[in-house]
Amino acid sequence: MLGFAGVLFGGSLVADQRTRKILLVISLAGLLALMLRLSLHLSVPMGDYANFVESRHNFNRYFGDYLSFQFYLGGAIVHELNSAFGAHSRSPVAAFDALARIAAGLFVVALALFAAQMHWTSQVLRYVALAISVPTTLLFFGYHEFGHLPAALDVVAVPLALIGLETKRRSYLYGAGFLAGIGCAFHGFGLIALAFIVLLTAVYLWRDEATRGALGRALPLTVGAAGLLGWLIWLPIFLIGPSWGIDPGHSDVRPLRPLLHAHYVADAHRVAKPILSTSVIGEIGWELAVTGAALVLLVAWFERGTSRAALLVATAPIFLFLVWFWPVQGLGNDSDFLGSAFPPTYAAAWMLARRFRPAVLGLLILIAGNAAIAHVLTWPFVHGPVPRP
């Protein structure tokens, strides 16, 4: 993964567009081959995956005639894959294996199409290098859960929104909103990226009068509407066609950390520790390292202008969500949420990719983050204390 990033950084220095195109296509093809062949084969828990495939009864609870709303599109894909594999005792595992490969393919193809749309520029090569180096990209190497799936589209939706604002192109912004909405259908964590894109749009228009005049004040609403369309458009297909029902699942649960005092959460059978405690501050540090959040600080240092201001303002509520969100089963178990938890990283990566030196510094930060996620996905980290009564 990091080796391909190095190749792309070198390729970004090449003047010939055709050579850059060939290097990028070969690098992405190689990355996809590794994603499909070198699965993580993690022995550590992967969210609720073990519960999903423990028995046919458990599997049918989540992927039978009812779909869990928080990942209804991802769940529908697993349901259909299970049927395609024969709906026997081992087909649920095969279905999740196939879902992981589909997600990896979607991630790589989305980046390739984005690069083509950007005409294989040096900036887009550096962006792809940074995007595949984001530590949570490791989850596309066979992580069997749903929370990281929105990132397969967020990786292009977020920079597309920023480009749309800078070039005053509504179609890019509508496309970004729609792609983020599809991510929401894969898993509700996709709402983080959709909210970020809407906030980014609103702040950019507020700061830039020319863009506000060209695109209109109502643009954040229409971008949000495009996101809602991408999120909910699939529901009638499943409700009318196969006549499946929709179960709220965990969509009505709000797992948030308390600020000052620990308290027992009966439904989770665990104690939620406060944000202002040593253990949680340490956990938040791991989250920030794994999501590549420090790239935003690099943008604050190197960049100036409306895009920088919009990124910093729109990042603030996303940062607060990351701090307040409580991974109930522990960060090492609920690692999939990290894949979609901090979409500002992709916006920052696009801005840093404009120049070689800031992009290299961003890559060094992401390399350190990869060491962090390699530790998070280990038994010693997973076996860290999860407070229980």
155/346 Cα distance (integer angstroms): 6
- Report the percentage of the chain scoring pLDDT > 90: 55
Please determine, for residue 107, whether its predicted confidence score (pLDDT) is greater than 50: yes
- The enclosing H or E element of 154 equals helix 151-167
- The enclosing H or E element of 278 equals helix 278-291
- pLDDT mean over 217-229: 95
Record the pTM. Answer: 0.92
Q: Residue 121: exposed, middle, or buried by beta-carbon count in 10 A (0-12, 13-18, 19+)?
A: middle
Given pLDDT bands bounded at 50, 70 and 90, which one contains residue 388?
A: very low
Q: Tell me: the pLDDT tens digits for 177-194?
A: 999 999 999 999 999 999
- The full set of domain ranges for the chain reads 2-382
Please determine, for residue 25, whether its predicted confidence score (pLDDT) is greater than 60: yes
Tokens read off for 93: 């595992």
Neighbours of 69 (CB within 10 A): 17
| Closest residue by Cα to residue 346 from 160, 106, 108, 71 | 160
76/353 Cα distance (integer angstroms): 37
Q: Which residue has tokens 């050579």?
A: 19
Q: Tell me: the pLDDT tens digits for 112-139?
A: 999 999 999 999 999 999 999 999 998 8
Tokens read off for 144: 């069997």
Q: Tell me: the pLDDT tens digits for 276-315?
A: 888 888 888 888 999 999 999 999 999 888 999 999 999 9
Tokens read off for 103: 């997600």
Q: Which of 231-245, 259-273, 308-322, 352-366 has the lowest mean pLDDT?
A: 259-273
- Cβ atoms 142, 36 nearer than 8 A: no
- Cβ atoms 36, 101 nearer than 8 A: yes
- Cβ atoms 343, 53 nearer than 8 A: no
Please determine, for residue 31, whether its predicted confidence score (pLDDT) is greater than 60: yes
Q: Tell me: the pLDDT tens digits for 40-81?
A: 665 666 777 877 888 787 888 778 777 888 888 998 899 889
Please determine, for residue 144, whether its predicted confidence score (pLDDT) is greater than 50: yes
The dihedral sign for the CA sequence 283, 289, 291, 297: positive
Q: Which of 170-179, 240-249, 373-382 has the lowest mean pLDDT?
A: 373-382
Distances from the Cα of 10 to the Cαs of 23, 359, 360, in angstroms? 9, 12, 11
How far does the chain reach from its first CA to its final CA, in angstroms? 41
Q: Which of 24-28, 118-122, 382-386 has the lowest mean pLDDT?
A: 382-386
362/346 Cα distance (integer angstroms): 11
In this predicted structure, what is the pLDDT of residue 384? 52
Strand partners, 256: 325
In this predicted structure, what is the pLDDT of residue 45? 66
- pLDDT mean over 268-282: 79
| Closest residue by Cα to residue 42 from 96, 114, 103, 80 | 96
- Cβ atoms 19, 110 nearer than 8 A: no
